[in-house]
Amino acid sequence: MIILILITLIISFILYKRYFPVLGVHFIHLKDLEVEKIKIIDIRDYNVSYKDPIKGSINIPIAYLNRSIEEIPDNDLYIVTSSSLEKNVGIRFLRKKGFRVVGYSISNHNKNSLKKNSLNIENNCC
């Protein structure tokens, strides 16, 4: 019984870190930002971010955040992600390292390109 409770707690903690929204960080539209005061960190993958670049941002994919932590300035940070999972993990990681994340946005570029590709599929069957 104790083992079952322990396993349930571990699974709940993992699910919380990934899927539960981060408190105190709100969605802010990119055009509403004061770019002079806030640094934009793009944590989308390179193959997504080069198709939809954000002027003035620092592109560090979420997989490389730990190894590139010294490239991130000590200003207030604004995060650009491609999913809510990426947002939650990225913000929690940056907070753990002592950074202050003030906002985020989720880019839907990847979803739009998937829809376009699915419409252009040709069926070359008999």
Sequence-distant (≥ 6) Cβ neighbours of residue 65 within 8 angstroms: 43, 90, 93, 94
Q: Please indicate, yes or no, whether the overall pTM of this predicted structure exceeds 0.75.
A: yes
Full residue range of the structural domain in which residue 33 is found: 2-119
**Is the residue at 124 inside a domain?**
no
CA neighbor of 25 nearest in space, from 86, 61, 78: 78
Tell me the pLDDT tens digit for each residue of 40-93: 999 999 999 899 899 889 999 999 999 999 999 998 999 999 999 999 999 999
**Is the residue at 126 inside a domain?**
no
| CATH number (domain holding residue 57) | 3.40.250.10
Exposure string for 30-56, b = 16+ CB within 10 A, e = fewer: eeebeeeebbbbbbbbeebbeebebee
Q: How many domains does the chain have?
A: 1
**Is the residue at 22 inside a domain?**
yes
**Is the residue at 97 inside a domain?**
yes
